[in-house]
Amino acid sequence: MQDKTARATKQPARNDRSQAVNADLIAVVIAVTTGEPRVLTIEQAQALPSGPFELGHRSLQSGLRAWVERQTGHQLGYIEQLYTFADRDRTGDERVQISISYLGLTREEQAERSQTHGWHGWYDYFPWEDHRAGVPSILPDIVVPRLSAWSDDAEDPGIRRDRRQRVAYAFGLDDRDWNEELVLQRYELLYEAALVAEATRGRDNGNPPSIPGRPMIADHRRILATGMARLRTKIKYRPVVFELMPATFTLLQLQRTVEALAGRLVHKPNFRRLIEEQDLVEETGETMSDTGGRPAKRFRFRQTVLVERTAAGTKLPLSRG
């Protein structure tokens, strides 16, 4: 901005440059229970919790924390801003709607049943993202063929080639590897190809049926995808997984949590090596006689690491098999 005339007449100039808008917060709150990542939802699992931010908080972050904790009874261990969206379609009136989205991690221990909100596995919304038991059949059977058809649909050969490349890259086709971080790119491709319900909603029909995967209102599934992608990236270089773990845990439990988030398996001995050589955990002294097999040592997260929290995180020694 910095309109010179405006500056000359009024001081301070900041105020006139601002635009009056509506704003709210949207939270992607994640917990992992029994090896499944879950997201906190409202409205019959079709929406992410959202609310106004409240004056009187020092920061957006603290406002969100207070609000989520009051509404859900869940303490948020870690909060991070995701993205700010602007929209005009969402509300009927003239104003622009701004939504500031956050990622929050919690332990979902006190998971009482609630009328207003509930937890749902994030792979219900993104069934093509879970590769822990190998490539999910939905990909070769449904998603990839329909994306290929969409690519071939394009008139322009340049666009055709571009679509094919993007699909191949995002979904790890041909000789490429599956990249678990590309959650958002994949969802956006599916949206662009009108293969998710959100893309065809409200338009006159004549659209082909959507692929499996539970839809959400407005752009909430896209926001969830953003959060998943951010978390899958983050666990590789920041020790945030521990925000999702109970006070003590075995290394296999930790591994299962990481695998649940990443949607793919890791090599057990290497995972162990990685965790230990980074001094992220320490033994409690106790062991745990789990299912069958030799008892596992219990570990706890080393608090010292939190001070240098930017320290090396939890890289993923991915396995190919």
Partner DNA sequence: CCAATTATTCTCCAAATGAGTATAACCGAC
Partner DNA sequence: GTCGGTTATACTCATTTGGAGAATAATTGG
- Specify the amino acid at residue 199: A
Say how far apart CA 289 and CA 250 lie, in whole Å. Answer: 10
Maximum distance among all alpha carbons in the chain?
Answer: 79
For residue 250, state whether it binds a copy of itself (rule: CB under 8 A).
Answer: no
Interface residue with DNA among 203, 294, 303, 307 (CB under 7 A) is 294
Under rule CB under 8 A, which residues in 179-208 are in contact with a copy of itself?
A: 179, 182, 185
Say how far apart CA 88 and CA 188 lie, in whole Å. Answer: 20
Number of residues lying near DNA (CB under 7 A)? 27
Q: Which does 294 bind (CB under 5 to 8 A by kind): a copy of itself, DNA, none?
A: DNA
For residue 173, state whether it binds DNA (rule: CB under 7 A).
Answer: no
Q: Which stretch binds DNA (CB under 7 A): 4-12, 144-152, 198-206, 250-258?
A: 250-258
Write down the least CB distance from residue 310 to a copy of itself, Å. Answer: 7
For residue 78, state whether it binds a copy of itself (rule: CB under 8 A).
Answer: no
In this complex, which beta carbon is closest to DNA, that of residue 87 or of residue 283?
A: 283
Place of tokens 């949607």: 263
- CA atoms 37, 41, 46, 48: torsion sign: negative
Q: Which stretch binds a copy of itself (CB under 8 A): 43-51, 245-253, 256-264, 294-302?
A: 43-51
Number of residues lying near a copy of itself (CB under 8 A)? 57
Joined together, the tokens standing for residue 125 give: 């919304």
Q: Which stretch binds DNA (CB under 7 A): 46-54, 106-114, 146-154, 293-301?
A: 293-301
Write down the least CB distance from residue 256 to a copy of itself, Å. Answer: 28
Write down the least CB distance from residue 212 to a copy of itself, Å. Answer: 25
Rg (CA), the chain: 22
Place of tokens 């939504």: 99
Say how far apart CA 27 and CA 68 lie, in whole Å. Answer: 8
In this complex, which beta carbon is closest to a copy of itself, that of residue 273 or of residue 309?
A: 309
- Specify the amino acid at residue 271: F
Under rule CB under 8 A, which residues in 207-246 are in contact with a copy of itself?
A: 218
Interface residue with a copy of itself among 31, 65, 67, 146 (CB under 8 A) is 67
Number of alpha carbons in the 13 Å side-chain half-sphere of residue 290? 14
- β-bridge mates for residue 78, sequence order: 105
3-state helix/strand/coil string of 134-197:
ECCCHHHHHHHHHHHHHHHHCCCHHHHHHHHHHHHHHHCCCCCCCCCCCHHHHHHHHHHCCCCH
Count CB atoms within 10 A of the CB of residue 281.
22
Chain contacts with a copy of itself (rule: CB under 8 A): 1-2, 4, 14-15, 17-24, 42-43, 47, 49-55, 59-60, 63, 67, 71, 81, 83-86, 88, 90-93, 95-98, 100, 115-117, 162, 165-166, 169, 179, 182, 185, 218, 307-308, 310
